[in-house]
Amino acid sequence: MHVLVTGGAGYIGSHAVLLLLEAGHKVSVFDNLSNSSPESLRRVREMSGSAPDLFIGDLLDSDRLDSVLSQTQPDAVIHFGGLKAVGESVQKPISYYQNNVVGTLNLVSAMEKAGVKRLVFSSSATVYAESTELPLVEGAQRDASNPYGRTKLHIEQILEDLAVSDSSWSIATLRYFNPVGAHPSGNIGEDPQGIPNNLMPFIAQVAVGRRSEVQVFGNDYPTYDGTGVRDYIHVMDLAQGHLDALDFLNSHNGQYVWNLGTGSGTSVLDVIGAFSRACGRQLPYKLVDRRPGDIAEYYGDPTTARLELGWKAERGVEEMARDMWEWQSKNPAGYPDYDLDGISEEEINEFIRGARASIVKEK
Ligand code: NAD
Ligand code: UFG
């Protein structure tokens, strides 16, 4: 298949692009590189032996989307592109609604014009209402508590309406729990800008000496050790779920929703413990107040994905920590920071393909 991947240079996208290329698919990436580097795709090409084509473009530029979709005529689209920081979404709701909701509307409208009606969408467990009934099943009540979560909820609803309006659409909404880890080679991984908001990237930076200690937000939650409990999922398992969803959509029309999680929860202290074992020293941490807006515990029920897709998370927290450590210790400062000013899309693609080593200069 030829798959267009929006946000394909980013954290989860780059792992999915790698698996798609390894499975023999042709891949085009549509990304504005606002939160990623072409270096991820260069490494993906080194690892897989084949290069994706990068189209540098913004989901808010509907003319560009129209032309890329009609030019590439993909069989399917996987849509990772968008903004994802909960705290920032409270400060910049317009930007979040624009990039995520308007960006998705532009995408599906460009797909419709090009006659491409197969879509896999990155949703989030954040669309679930706070619930005492765990694990969360796909039919659980939805309600988001911040602008980021509301963008995902609105997009889910838009995609539902679209599938009802035209039965030739095939749409998979994947609700991710907490994606962590990296490719086991440590060549690609998560490269957050600034201070990481999420637990595992923060711990990884403590392990590599960039930060002094982990702050544990609250130890008086009604959980097994008092700290927050989440359903962490290895990014390689998550990426595989996208390939399985694509296979399913090849033979099914309509709209489907699947939780992608492990089905069990791990506490903050247990994640710190796993990471300490991975890096070979006890990582320092301090118990501090709860983080406003956090809930005690949630984890998903992945049974539907297992029954309908044959998908199941294979890797546990020890592997998540081990692979994250491999990435972080090999790349303590993340990807190199390139200055792309004045460098053309063709030159960046040559860099990704390995045909041009010097054109992308390091800052
Ligand atoms: P990421 O920031 O690493 O990747 C997103 C990519 O989209 C980046 O490469 C960025 O440059 C690109 N992008 C952003 N806005 C764009 C725009 N307007 N036009 C074109 N490209 C744009 O994030 P990620 O962690 O890989 O997340 C991928 C998707 O998964 C997102 O939709 C995110 O909301 C969703 N998700 C992530 C998590 C998580 O914890 N990482 C959890 C649930 C859902
Ligand atoms: N935590 C700490 N210290 C930190 C960071 C986090 O103790 O420095 C704790 C939190 O309180 C929580 C747990 O670690 O108990 C996980 O926190 P994360 O920030 O890693 O993840 P969240 O579950 O809060 O949120 C994440 C993403 C959201 C997404 C959600 C569900 O950030 O975008 O998972 O998919 F919506």
Query: What is the band of 360 on the pLDDT scale with cuts at 50, 70, 90?
Result: low
Q: Which ligand is nearest to the CA of 82?
A: 1
Over range 53-78, report the average pLDDT. 98
Residue 54 lies in a domain: yes
How far is ligand 2, taken at its centre, from the CA of residue 291, in Å? 9
Q: Average pLDDT, stretch 323-327?
A: 98
Task: Please name the amino acid found at residue 247.
Answer: D
> 16 is in which domain, residue-wise?
2-353
Q: With bands split at pLDDT 50, 70 and 90, how would you rate the model's confidence at 65?
A: very high
Residue 356: per-residue pLDDT: 84
Specify if 363 maps to a domain. no
**Quick one: which of 38, 44, 108, 113 has its CA closest to 77?**
108
Q: Is residue 124 part of a domain?
A: yes
Burial degree of 4 (CB within 10 A; 0-12, 13-18, 19+): buried
Overall average pLDDT of the 297-309 stretch = 98
> What's the CATH code of the domain at 235?
3.40.50.720
298 catalytic? Reply is no
The answer to the question of residue 358 being in a domain is: no
Domain assignment present for 362: no
What whole-number distance in Å separates Cα of residue 44 and Cα of residue 188?
A: 8
Cα(152) to centroid of ligand 2, in Å? 17
| Residue 148 backbone dihedrals phi, psi, to 5 degrees | -55, -50
| pLDDT band at residue 359 using 50, 70 and 90 as cut-offs | low
Residue 209 burial (C-beta neighbours within 10 Å; 0-12, 13-18, 19+): exposed
pLDDT of residue 337: 85
Integer CA distances (angstroms), 135 to 68, 114, 117, 130, 157, in order: 40, 39, 32, 12, 23
Q: Does 361 have pLDDT greater than 70? A: no
129 phi and psi angles, rounded to 5 deg: -70, 150
Mean pLDDT value across residues 176-185: 98
**Range with the lowest mean pLDDT among 60-74, 239-253, 344-358?**
344-358
Percent of the chain surpassing pLDDT 70:
98
361 inside domain:
no
Tell me the pLDDT tens digit for each residue of 200-256: 999 999 999 999 999 999 999 999 999 999 999 999 999 999 999 999 999 999 999
In a domain, 31, yes or no: yes
> Does the pLDDT of residue 197 top 80, yes or no?
yes
Categorize the per-residue pLDDT at 341 as very low, low, confident or very high, splitting at 50, 70 and 90. Answer: confident
Phi/psi for 306 (5° steps) reads -65, -45
Task: Return the residue whose CA atom lies nearest to atom 43 of ligand 1.
Answer: 124
> Which of 11, 175, 3, 27 has the alpha carbon at shortest distance from 77?
3
Rounded mean pLDDT of 72-88?
97
Tell me the pTM. 0.98
Give the chain as a 3 state SS string.
CEEEEECCCCHHHHHHHHHHHHCCCEEEEEECCCCCCHHHHHHHHHHHCCCCEEEECCCCCHHHHHHHHHHHCCCEEEECCCCCCHHHHHHCHHHHHHHHHHHHHHHHHHHHHHCCCEEEEEEEHHHECCCCCCCECCCCCECCCCHHHHHHHHHHHHHHHHHHHCCCCEEEEEEECEEECCCCCCCCCCCCCCCCCCHHHHHHHHHCCCCCCEEEECCCCCCCCCCCEECEEEHHHHHHHHHHHHHHHCCCCEEEEEEECCCCCEEHHHHHHHHHHHHCCCCCEEEECCCCCCCCECCECCHHHHHHHCCCCCCCHHHHHHHHHHHHHHCCCCCCCEECCCCCHHHHHHHHHCCCCCCCEEC
177 CA distance to ligand 1 centroid (A)?
14
State yes or no: pLDDT of 362 exceeds 60. no
Do residues 300 and 263 touch, judged by C-beta distance below 8 A?
A: yes
Question: What's the domain count of the chain?
Answer: 1
pLDDT tens string 99-137: 999 999 999 999 999 999 999 999 999 999 998 799 999
Q: Which residues contact 32 (CB under 8 A, 6 or more apart)?
A: 56, 57, 58, 59, 81
Q: Which two tokens stand for residue 53?
A: 């084509």
Residue type at 122?
S
Catalytic pick among 148, 298, 299, 338: 148
pLDDT band, residue 363 (cuts 50/70/90): low
Residue closest to 82 by CA, chosen among 106, 55, 104, 64: 104
Smallest CA-to-CA distance from 200 within 226, 227, 233 is with: 233
Q: Is residue 121 part of a domain?
A: yes
Closest residue to atom 41 of ligand 1, CA basis:
179
Q: How confident is the model over 31-48, as pLDDT tens digits?
A: 999 999 999 999 999 999
pLDDT of residue 339: 85
Which residue of 199, 205, 268 sits with most ligand 2 atoms within 8 Å of its CB, as the best mutation to test the pocket? Answer: 199
Residues 260-283: tens digit of each pLDDT: 999 999 999 999 999 999 999 999
8 lines ligand 1 (CB under 6 A): no
